[in-house]
């Protein structure tokens, strides 16, 4: 695989090939999402981290108005419990919904989010592909 193909794959992973988070969130209703989880994977925080890594870029790409905050807490101690939650913030900044991300896979977190947040799926013709000519 050439360098350019690799790069295009990286870009398309953000904008085209990751299908699940290709949604349009109404920015008049929501101001943002706030994720809180641990830096390390232990105590079931892996799904949250992978969700951030795999799905948040696409969400941000198609919803530039929405603010995504990620708060990663440094905790090496396995006995200590650290919150692992996703909060949906309304336009006024209050928390409308909370999703517990502990011990969940990233796909399940995304499905939970799709259930709890009002959204429209992105029309197929509006998907942006890197490498194809842009009008």
Partner 1 sequence: MLPTTTIPKICIASPMRRYLSHTARYLYAEEYKTTSMSSNAPSLTKDQAKKRELKRLAQRRAEAKRPATTSPLYMPVAMALRYLRAAEVGRPQSQQTINLTTLVVGERGTAPISGNVTFPKPLRYVKVAVFTNDEIKLKELREKYPNHLIGGADLVAKIKNNEIPVDFDKAFATPDIVATLQSQVARILGPRGVLPSVKKGTVNDDITSLLQESLGSMPFRQRGNAISVGIGKCYFTDRELLQNIISTRAAFKAAVENQKAKKPSILSKTTLSSTHGPGIVIDFA
Q: Which residues bind partner 1 (CB under 8 A)?
A: 4, 7-8, 10-11, 14-15, 35, 52, 56-61, 64, 68-70, 128, 130-131, 134
| Residue among 5 and 98 whose Cβ is closer to partner 1 | 5
* Smallest gap from residue 59 Cβ to partner 1 (A): 8
Give, as one character, the DSSP assignment of residue 122: P
Dihedral of CA 6/9/13/18: which sign? negative
Strand 95-100, strand 30-38: pairing:
unpaired
* Smallest gap from residue 65 Cβ to partner 1 (A): 12
57 and 23 in contact (C-beta within 8 Å)? no
* Smallest gap from residue 30 Cβ to partner 1 (A): 16
Spatial CB neighbours of 75, under 8 Å, sequence gap ≥ 6: 38, 39, 40, 82
* Smallest gap from residue 79 Cβ to partner 1 (A): 27
| Residue among 30 and 52 whose Cβ is closer to partner 1 | 52
């Amino acid at each position: 695989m050439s360098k350019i193909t690799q790069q295009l794959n990286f870009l398309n992973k953000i904008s085209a090939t990751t299908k699940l988070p290709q949604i349009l969130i109404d920015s008049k209703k929501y101001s943002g999402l706030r994720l809180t989880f641990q830096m390390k994977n232990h105590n079931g925080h892996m799904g949250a981290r992978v969700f951030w890594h795999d799905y948040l870029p696409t969400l941000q790409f198609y919803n530039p108005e929405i603010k995504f905050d990620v708060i990663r807490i440094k905790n090496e101690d396995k006995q200590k419990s650290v919150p692992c939650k996703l909060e949906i913030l309304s336009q006024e900044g209050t928390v409308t919904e909370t999703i517990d991300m502990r011990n969940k896979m990233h796909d399940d977190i995304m499905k939970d989010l799709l259930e709890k947040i009002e959204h429209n799926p992105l029309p197929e013709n509006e998907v942006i592909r890197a490498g194809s000519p842009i009008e």
